């Protein structure tokens, strides 16, 4: 059961305290916004570090940046 409408009636906004590249690329974030009423996202240094440092999702882009440096 989606309780977001009840939260919105109470003047609350649903925020996501999480970040992963895949939620941007696979449509999950769009679905959360459109179907579940997500209104914002936040993160903190430990979540950001985990998203970048403990997955391989950014490895290709980071490697390209390093290789492009003069």
pLDDT of residue 23: 94
Give residue 8's pLDDT. 87
pLDDT at 1 over 80: no
The residue among 68 and 3 whose pLDDT is bigger is: 68
**Two tokens, residue 23:** 């939620």
Instruction: Report the alpha-carbon distance of residue 62 to residue 12 in Å, rounded.
Output: 37
Q: 3 phi and psi, to 5 degrees?
A: -95, 5
Task: Tell me the pLDDT tens digit for each residue of 2-61.
Answer: 788 888 889 999 999 998 999 999 999 999 999 989 999 998 999 889 888 888 988 999
What DSSP letter does each residue of 44-66 carry, written as one string? -HHHHHHHHHSSSTTHHHHHHHH
Domain positions in the chain: 4-68
């Amino acid at each position: 059961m989606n309780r977001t409408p009840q939260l919105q009636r109470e003047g609350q906004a649903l925020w996501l305290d999480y970040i992963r590249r895949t939620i941007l690329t696979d449509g999950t974030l769009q679905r959360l916004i459109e179907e579940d009423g997500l209104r914002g996202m936040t993160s903190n240094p430990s979540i950001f570090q985990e998203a970048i440092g403990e997955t391989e999702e950014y490895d290709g882009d980071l490697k390209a940046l390093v290789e492009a440096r003069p």
